[in-house]
Structure 1
Amino acid sequence: MIPTPRRAAALVTTSGVLLVSACTSADGGGGGGASGASTTPLAGPEQQLTVLSQGPVLAWDPQRITSRQQSAFAGRTYLRTLTTYAPATDLAGQRELVGDLATSTGRASKDQKKWSFTLRKGISWQDGSRITCGDLRYGVSRSFGKDTASAGYALTYLDIPKKPDGSSRYPGPFGSAGRSAGAKKLIEGAVTCSGDTITYRLSEPVADFGEVVSTPEFAPVKRSTDTGEESAYLAFSNGPYKLEDAWQPGEGGTWVRNEEWDERSDPVREPTLERIVHREGVEPVEAVETITDGDDGSRSVLVDPLPDGLQQPVADAADQVQSVTSDGQIVDYLAPNHTSEVMRSARVRTALALATDREGYARALGGQAVATPVWSLLSTALPSAHEPVLDRGPTGDPEAARALLTRAKQESPRIRVAYRSGEKSDAAMAALKSGWEKAGFVVELEGLGEDYYTTIAQPASAKKYDVFWSSWGADYPSAATVLPPLFDDRINITSASSGRDYGYVRDDAVNAAMDKTMAVADADRRAAAWTKVDTTLLEQGSYVPLVQHRSTFVAGQEVTGLSSNAVFGGTPEMGTIGVAR
């Protein structure tokens, strides 16, 4: 439902009787506890939380989940994976990888190309049947299917041959092709079962594969429940909650306790709620009104970020609302086109970075409540974050940029910049244009429509634009989910597309450094190595980081343990949340 002017006015009118306690973690990441809520536990049927969301939820099927928000919710309620991250309210705790369905975070071979995990005792599905190694193998096999294609880590890492175009020779488990002897041999060769132990054979060293299997792509699926397209909203549970009835797209569903879940087999989840009423299709204005109405609203949480237009009305409100603000998953950045005549020069690319007014860009998006200037794609949730490179302050240094352009003999370079158009983004890009023009750039901005990413990946766009706007977020707290996907030309660039390497970065030395880093077993040394790779990219002007987005979440005063998990993209941490009166 689109908020009408009347509903928006009603919220502002009631703001005189609302108060918000905004809580942000001191280190700028992770989450923060919200103040003001009662801590007396509820009893019986009142142990119910209402979750409000605009949606839409596109799927609860593990291999179809693409939203970090949905993944975070699923992982605390009905969906367990081999490993996961501990529920915590501080960033250090949120980064802690722990065994979930597995007894540990995995055992790697010396060359990091073979990983084994042993399943816990007592883990079962909601029908009481035992979760097996075969369920895990079937789950990841689905990520190769046409209709259940996932993030692509299985395609990238599992030791299954690829076709010349980069697609897998394994078709997935569906249809006659998937059931053939050849197909079974491919998946069973890459994912082997021996009793309660599952082993993944990889085509390359992956030292953080224990983190990779925390993603829904590697979650188990019971083959007998898989009904193809009809499985999109089938949340067949192995966690503490299950759907009471079928999920209704656009409306929601109710999560109740799963009587087959055994707390002794689950070291991660400590559920306190009896029911979670999940309402979908709720606009933010309506959600805030619901929360402030009292009754069930005081035990409700909005799991969508609060739009910046509602920040001030909520901040001025009375004592019926609490909130938490944290860094989000997404970082905006610019990809200079290395194939364009002007951006082939590292000096020109560096000048662009020096003249970039990040503060003006952030202000146009809505200010520090929604975005903060950054100097790297490695967000605050990642252990590889490092000291700024090419930092001349949040407004940039046009004079230093102009001097560099003079050295490059490009005192007035013309650049054409493509970006995804929108009311906020139009103003934000205009702020960047102003800073660049102070340095001597002659700038033409071109806002593109809904098919933005498809358009800029086409080879024709490389001949048309000099700079591309983009954004990205880590899938788990490792630079391996950021730098290779965006800057390894071997996995991106083909004759038909630039993939995600929109700036056509082709650097053999950087590729070799990334390969080497992927195999570093020690986590601290690996983080330092990723920092070095990122520093090289930044010093060469291979990309220009802009801002990291921030999110504010609101809840009623009877919600306890409200916090935001930066590792899960700055979403509400459902593992610590409860209700009280």
Structure 2
Amino acid sequence: MRTGKVVAVGAVAVALIGMSTACSKNTGKSGNDNGPSAKVASGSISTDPADSKGPAPAIKGAKRGGTIISYHERDYEHLDPQRIYISDAQALDELVTRQLTAFKFDPKTGSSVLVGDLATNTGVDVNHDGKTWKYTLKSGLKYEDGTPIKAADVAYGVARSYSSNLSDGPHYIQQWLAGPGTYNGKYKGPYNGGAAMPPGVTVSGNSITFHLKSSQPEFPYAASWGTTSPLPKSQDSNPQKIDTHPFASGPYKIESYNRGTELKLSRNKYWDPKSDPIRHDYFDTLDVKIGVSPTDQTNRVLADHGNDQYAVVDQPGVSPELTSKVLADPSAKGRTLNDFLSFAERIDINTQRVTDVNVRKALNYAINRNALVQVNGGTSQAAPATTLMSPTVAGWDKYDAYPGAATPDGIAKAKKLLGGKHPKLVYAFANTESGQKLATAVQTALQKAGFKIVLRPEDKDNFFTAIDRKNNGWDMYATNWGADWPSGSTVIPPLFDGRTIVAEGNQDTSYLNAPDVNKQIDKIKAEPANQATKDWGKLDEYIMKKYAPSIPLYYIKQLSLTGSKVHDVKIQNPPGAISYVDAWVG
């Protein structure tokens, strides 16, 4: 998945490392001095149905009532749960919609565990082969209008995710149901003449079963995504409405939404805390103020006056220019949140347009990662990256395919690869404060090696949707990715399996389609979990050394600030964003 911060396992209990959670500070050194100090904690799939029972444990000292103000620079691209693949939207929808499973954070252990959300457990592997997964919904679940949530509604939610017009979200479940080839090559969802029940899905009473084409022991993880958010067919007369007003099944509902300006959540009175092991509804209202620059956000919340005592610097976080000021201000002590997210920022090189691998390698030698870290506010905001996966992901392996980047030696290597040529490349970026600064720094670095970089600012609220189009018309663009769950299987295949490339809604935005990479992806997917964990890291390095389809920039950290009246807001992975499920004011 992508982050909204920077636009600049038997078959069930697979224990995987790589989940960094909550709001601890980082020193910049790891225990083995082998990379940045992204926390490594265990994340696993619960096999105890008791973990899936509500209510969520009470938060000490928490009070009910009040409003939290959440400051955002840019708007959400999508709120339709089937379309969400960006972390800030996922964090908001965490309050509004529910899925079959979800991650539950344990503050005592500092780790997360996957539990049943709408479902009574994390799924039953019916035939003990990872190919047939059954879920039974909890009793008494209701939508915002008081009508019951049914298993057939979950099936319909999955069905609509096949539509090419709703292709922005993850495609794991659809692909596993469809088998090899394009997931929506035959069945295209209910808007295109298809049935309301997708192929491979059956419903019996309050149970739903998924019949997959291949063994997928990580299916319970995929079931935590918006793909399994329920929606009655009767509420889907206008799919575009769902994108701004998803039909609430969580503790909050959309009260009002003015695109580009403000979004308000209010309580969903039909949500039953006894059914929910994860969420609380302590605050009355979440008021998302959209279009506020990071500088204004930071100055307002740091001052801690009036309503800003109830505010959060949310997206993209503390302004880079004000980082030192915030960290040095005694009044901010106890109000700052700082931790690694599970994301790595990179520039994708459109391999359809930049076909010469030597040009792509030269770009990697020329980039100045240290300068980009400083542009983003220094080591409290980022750490230089040389890999595609984040060090928070299981199987991450430290390597540097293009050593000496941005040094005289690296520039010389870049020029040698270019052989006297001066390629003219269009760099597209989201037109935000941070996106503009990152673009200027990228242009400055690459021009030293002889590149001619044309900067192309684009609509900040639809930037990811635009680069996901196969024929986007640009040579390079900054983007990022984090594991959808703690496994390299959710990083390398989505980003570099060229067989998944379609007209719109792509995650492979370098548009690399290399048969040898595709073959290795298939091989690793079939391996035991422990071996696959290591091999995803090896394939990361192979891709960069042979094809250089991307330029790793930095591992993303979040530095945020809250008003003095806001409590128990967290930086949480997943979703890799500010989480409000435990938040309260007082």
TM-score range, shorter chain: 0.7 to 0.9
Which residue pairs with 2:209 in the alignment? 199
Task: Indicate how the Cα distance of structure 1 residues 191 and 150 shifts in structure 2: closer, same or farther if over 3 A, else same.
Answer: farther
Task: Indicate how the Cα distance of structure 1 residues 533 and 40 shifts in structure 2: closer, same or farther if over 3 A, else same.
Answer: closer
**Partners in 2 of 1:67 and 1:403 — Cα distance?**
36
- The one-letter code matched in structure 2 to 1:41 is G
- The one-letter code matched in structure 1 to 2:575 is F
Equivalent position SS for 1:200: strand
Measured after TM superposition, the shift of residue 134 of structure 1 is 0.3
Pairing 1:447–2:460 present: no
**Partners in 1 of 2:544 and 2:572 — Cα distance?**
28
Pairing 1:100–2:117 present: yes
Equivalent position SS for 1:564: strand
After superposition, the C-alpha distances for 1:454-499 in whole angstroms (9 at most, x for unaligned) are 689767969xx6xx34423136133333322332222227xx8996
Which residue pairs with 1:15 in the alignment? none
Looking at secondary structure, tell me which structure has more helix per residue.
Answer: 1
Measured after TM superposition, the shift of residue 426 of structure 1 is 3.8
Pairing 1:552–2:559 present: yes
- Once the two structures are superposed, the pairs formed by residues 497-536 of structure 1 within 5 Å of their partners are 501=508, 505-520=512-527, 522=529, 524-536=530-542
Which residue pairs with 1:170 in the alignment? 187
Q: Is the 8 A contact 2:68 2:585 kept in 1?
A: yes
- Once the two structures are superposed, the pairs formed by residues 227-246 of structure 1 within 5 Å of their partners are 227-228=237-238, 229-243=240-254, 245-246=255-256
Alpha-carbon RMSD:
4.0
The alignment of Structure 1 onto Structure 2 pairs a total of residues equal to 520
Counterpart pick for 1:116 among 111, 134, 155:
134
Which residue pairs with 2:221 in the alignment? 211
Equivalent position SS for 1:327: strand
Measured after TM superposition, the shift of residue 565 of structure 1 is 1.6
Counterpart pick for 1:576 among 567, 578, 582:
582
Pairing 1:138–2:139 present: no
Equivalent position SS for 2:438: helix
Equivalent position SS for 1:189: coil
- The one-letter code matched in structure 1 to 2:493 is P
Measured after TM superposition, the shift of residue 330 of structure 1 is 5.0
Measured after TM superposition, the shift of residue 59 of structure 1 is 4.8
Q: Is the 8 A contact 2:367 2:445 kept in 1?
A: yes
- The one-letter code matched in structure 2 to 1:515 is D
Which residue pairs with 1:392 in the alignment? 403
**Partners in 2 of 1:60 and 1:574 — Cα distance?**
16
Counterpart pick for 2:480 among 472, 477, 490:
472
Task: Indicate how the Cα distance of structure 1 residues 195 and 29 shifts in structure 2: closer, same or farther if over 3 A, else same.
Answer: farther
Pairing 1:331–2:332 present: no
- The one-letter code matched in structure 2 to 1:535 is E
Larger Rg: 1 or 2? 1
Q: Is the 8 A contact 1:54 1:283 kept in 2?
A: yes
After superposition, the C-alpha distances for 1:67-103 in whole angstroms (9 at most, x for unaligned) are 321211221x231111122235699624x32222223
Counterpart pick for 2:286 among 259, 269, 277:
277
After superposition, the C-alpha distances for 1:320-348 in whole angstroms (9 at most, x for unaligned) are 672212334351135384886752x5xx7
**Partners in 2 of 1:564 and 1:268 — Cα distance?**
15
After superposition, the C-alpha distances for 1:140-193 in whole angstroms (9 at most, x for unaligned) are 11223465444151685153489x98754334224xx54xxxx228x3432111
Measured after TM superposition, the shift of residue 105 of structure 1 is 2.7
**Partners in 2 of 1:316 and 1:379 — Cα distance?**
28
Measured after TM superposition, the shift of residue 126 of structure 1 is 3.5
- The one-letter code matched in structure 1 to 2:284 is R
- The one-letter code matched in structure 1 to 2:495 is L
Measured after TM superposition, the shift of residue 520 of structure 1 is 4.0
Measured after TM superposition, the shift of residue 549 of structure 1 is 3.3
Deviation larger for 553-562 or 164-173:
164-173
Equivalent position SS for 2:489: helix
Task: Indicate how the Cα distance of structure 1 residues 40 and 425 shifts in structure 2: closer, same or farther if over 3 A, else same.
Answer: closer
**Partners in 2 of 1:55 and 1:501 — Cα distance?**
24
Measured after TM superposition, the shift of residue 296 of structure 1 is 4.0
Counterpart pick for 1:363 among 367, 374, 390:
374
Q: Is the 8 A contact 1:143 1:172 kept in 2?
A: yes
Deviation larger for 423-432 or 497-506:
497-506
**Partners in 2 of 1:30 and 1:351 — Cα distance?**
32
Which residue pairs with 1:34 in the alignment? none
Which residue pairs with 1:81 in the alignment? 99
Unaligned runs of 5+ in 2: 1-22, 31-36, 41-58, 430-434
Measured after TM superposition, the shift of residue 136 of structure 1 is 0.3
- Once the two structures are superposed, the pairs formed by residues 206-355 of structure 1 within 5 Å of their partners are 206-228=216-238, 229-243=240-254, 245-249=255-259, 250-256=261-267, 258-269=268-279, 271=280, 273-281=282-290, 283-284=292-293, 285-288=295-298, 290-291=300-301, 292-304=303-315, 305-317=317-329, 319=331, 322-328=335-341, 329-335=343-349, 337=351, 342-343=356-357, 353-354=364-365
Which residue pairs with 1:488 in the alignment? 497
Percent of residue pairs identical = 22
Equivalent position SS for 1:123: coil
Counterpart pick for 1:432 among 437, 445, 451:
445
Equivalent position SS for 2:458: coil
Which residue pairs with 1:13 in the alignment? none
Equivalent position SS for 1:184: coil
**Partners in 2 of 1:231 and 1:336 — Cα distance?**
32
Which residue pairs with 1:125 in the alignment? 143
Measured after TM superposition, the shift of residue 556 of structure 1 is 0.9
Task: Indicate how the Cα distance of structure 1 residues 542 and 240 shifts in structure 2: closer, same or farther if over 3 A, else same.
Answer: same
**Partners in 2 of 1:230 and 1:336 — Cα distance?**
33
Equivalent position SS for 2:559: strand
**Partners in 2 of 1:85 and 1:387 — Cα distance?**
28
Task: Indicate how the Cα distance of structure 1 residues 197 and 126 shifts in structure 2: closer, same or farther if over 3 A, else same.
Answer: same
Query: What TM-score does the superposition give when structure 1 sets the normalisation length?
Result: 0.76
Q: Is the 8 A contact 2:309 2:563 kept in 1?
A: yes
**Partners in 1 of 2:560 and 2:249 — Cα distance?**
28
- The one-letter code matched in structure 2 to 1:516 is K
Query: What TM-score does the superposition give when structure 2 sets the normalisation length?
Result: 0.75
Equivalent position SS for 2:138: coil
- The one-letter code matched in structure 2 to 1:492 is I
**Partners in 2 of 1:354 and 1:415 — Cα distance?**
15
**Partners in 1 of 2:269 and 2:253 — Cα distance?**
9
Measured after TM superposition, the shift of residue 405 of structure 1 is 8.2
Counterpart pick for 1:377 among 371, 376, 388:
388
- The one-letter code matched in structure 2 to 1:131 is I
Measured after TM superposition, the shift of residue 365 of structure 1 is 4.6
Equivalent position SS for 1:62: coil
Task: Indicate how the Cα distance of structure 1 residues 147 and 526 shifts in structure 2: closer, same or farther if over 3 A, else same.
Answer: same
- The one-letter code matched in structure 2 to 1:471 is T
Counterpart pick for 1:68 among 87, 91, 94:
87
Q: Is the 8 A contact 2:469 2:504 kept in 1?
A: yes
**Partners in 2 of 1:405 and 1:54 — Cα distance?**
38
Which residue pairs with 2:46 in the alignment? none
Task: Indicate how the Cα distance of structure 1 residues 565 and 555 shifts in structure 2: closer, same or farther if over 3 A, else same.
Answer: same
**Partners in 2 of 1:126 and 1:142 — Cα distance?**
20
After superposition, the C-alpha distances for 1:112-145 in whole angstroms (9 at most, x for unaligned) are 4433323234433344443221010011112234
Task: Indicate how the Cα distance of structure 1 residues 44 and 208 shifts in structure 2: closer, same or farther if over 3 A, else same.
Answer: closer
